[in-house]
Structures are given as structure tokens and as C-alpha cells.
Amino acid sequence: MRDVVNVLSLTLIVILALAPVPVIYLFYYRYFLVKPSYLYHLEYFVYGAILALLLLLAGQYFAPDLPLHGAAARGFLSASLVEKAGAFAMIALLTYRTPPLLMVLNMVISAMLLGLGFATVENVMYAISIREPVIFVRLFSSVPLHVLTCGIIGYGLALMRFSGSWGNRVRHALGAFMVPYLFHGTYDTLLIGGGTGTYWIAPLLVVLIAGMEYILAKSQTLPLLDGLQKHRISIEEWTTVQREPQYERWILRSM
């Protein structure tokens, strides 16, 4: 009887772990329609799942035994650092694998789908292995966290590829890693610390969702990489050209 109860309990918690996945997918489906092929969606979902499995295996065999004390040290120097570094590397590889017909929005969407696959595998693994009360907070919050932070990585790396100067490329690359890493590290710190700190996870996700809506809206206005290459201009030059009419209207109104 106890075995049956354990199986039912495990089945229920795995279902809860998978529940946020279709919710997040459907929430951003209006943007995913830019790439309407479901095989494309599945491809990047699988990339994320593979990344999660690779990091899980690497953690079992190569995990350093660091004497980390305190929620902040464990939050920023354990899982968040490794996961965001792995996501950054894979999304960067996929960014340069894509053809010149690249749109910033496409790269953001691809990165978000990769994050969805990563979060799915991670959620199932946590559901199987962890029996602490905080697991329910993690199950419902880690999926949007991974999807949104990976989307930020995709946005920054796409801008890096579009940029013409090395300085801007380095700046976008640093932003693509540091911003998601800080959000992820803060999330892990709040989760590990427990108590009333977990209440701050909701505002953290709200900030990420609002930021992603801005990124997705702005990405739709940016040109194709192929178009920039045909005109032999960078994203910085394109932005300057777009601003000239705005400056002219401002001068005329001022006069």
C-alpha cells in the first residue's frame, strides 16, 4: 500500500513539474508564431533538454567540492553560474550557426524555447529528487525564470552579432551573460534562503516578464542581418539613420 502511495505521490509531483511548461509556451505563443514550424520549436526545446542532461551528468562527475556558506554564496556560485554559462555557450553556438537571414526576434524566440526545454528536464529532476516544501515554489517559478533569462541571452548575443564595433560586441556579450546570471543568482539565493525571502521571487519574475515584453516588442522593429550586410552597415549605423527623422522633427518643433 505504501508503495502505491509513493508512486501516486511521485506521479502527482511530476505532473505539477510539467504543468508550467505548456502554460509558458501558450503565453508566448503569439511571438513563437514568427517561427510557425513546430519542428523548429521542438528542435530548440530538445537543445535545451540536452544541455540540462549534460550539465546534470557533468555535475555528478566533475562538481567541485566548494565550501560555500550562506545563501548568497550558494545561490550565485553553484547552479546559477554553471547553468547560465552553459546556456550562454550553447545559444552563442546556435547564433553563429544560423544563416544571414537572422532577425533579432528569431534569436530571442529560439533562446526562449531552449530555456523551456532546459527547465522541463530540470523541473522533472528536482521533482524526483527533492522532498522539501520549497520544491513547490521552485516547480512553478523555475520554468519562467529559465525561459526569460535565456531570452535575454539570445537578445544580447543577437545584438552582438549585429554590432559593427568590438566595443559594442563585448558590451552586448557581457550584458547577455551578466544580466541573466544576476537574476538567476538572486532567484537561487531567495530560494535557498527560504522563509519570507521566497515572497520576493514573484516581484523578480514580474520584472523579468515586463523586461521580456519590452525586448520582444523592440526586437520586432530591428532589421534582418542579411539586410544590414547588403547595405554594408552595422546596427549602430542603422539606429542612427532611424533617429535622424526624429531629430529633424524635434528641431522643427523647437523652432
Per-residue pLDDT of the chain (255 residues; tens, 9 = 90+): 666 556 666 677 778 788 889 999 999 988 887 766 888 899 999 999 999 999 888 766 655 555 556 677 777 877 788 899 999 999 998 877 766 556 888 889 999 999 999 999 988 888 787 766 666 778 888 999 999 999 999 999 988 888 878 888 899 999 999 999 999 999 988 888 877 878 899 999 999 999 999 999 988 888 777 667 676 777 767 776 666 666 566 666 776
pLDDT of residue 65: 55
**Cβ neighbours of residue 138 closer than 8 Å, sequence gap 6 or more:** 123, 126, 130, 191
- Read off the amino acid at residue 252: L
What is the distance of C-alpha 104 from the center of its chain? 14
Give me the pLDDT at residue 232, please. 72
Under 8 Å between Cβ of 118 and 47: no
d(CA 70, CA 245): 53
17 CB-near residues (< 8 Å, 6+ apart): 123, 124, 126, 127, 139
> For 153-172, b where at least 16 C-beta lie within 10 A, e where not — what string?
bbbbbbbbbbbeeeebbeeb
- Tell me the C-alpha distance between 142 and 138, whole Å: 5
Q: Within 13 Å of residue 203, how many CA atoms lie on the same side as its CB?
A: 7
The span from the CA of 79 to the CA of 71, in Å, is 12
Set of cell numbers at residue 100 = 544571414
pLDDT on residue 1: 60
What pLDDT score was predicted for residue 181?
95
Q: Which residues of 82-109 are buried (b: 16+ CB within 10 A; e: fewer)?
A: bbbebbbebbbebbeeeeeebbbbbbbb
pLDDT of residue 222: 80
This prediction's pTM: 0.87
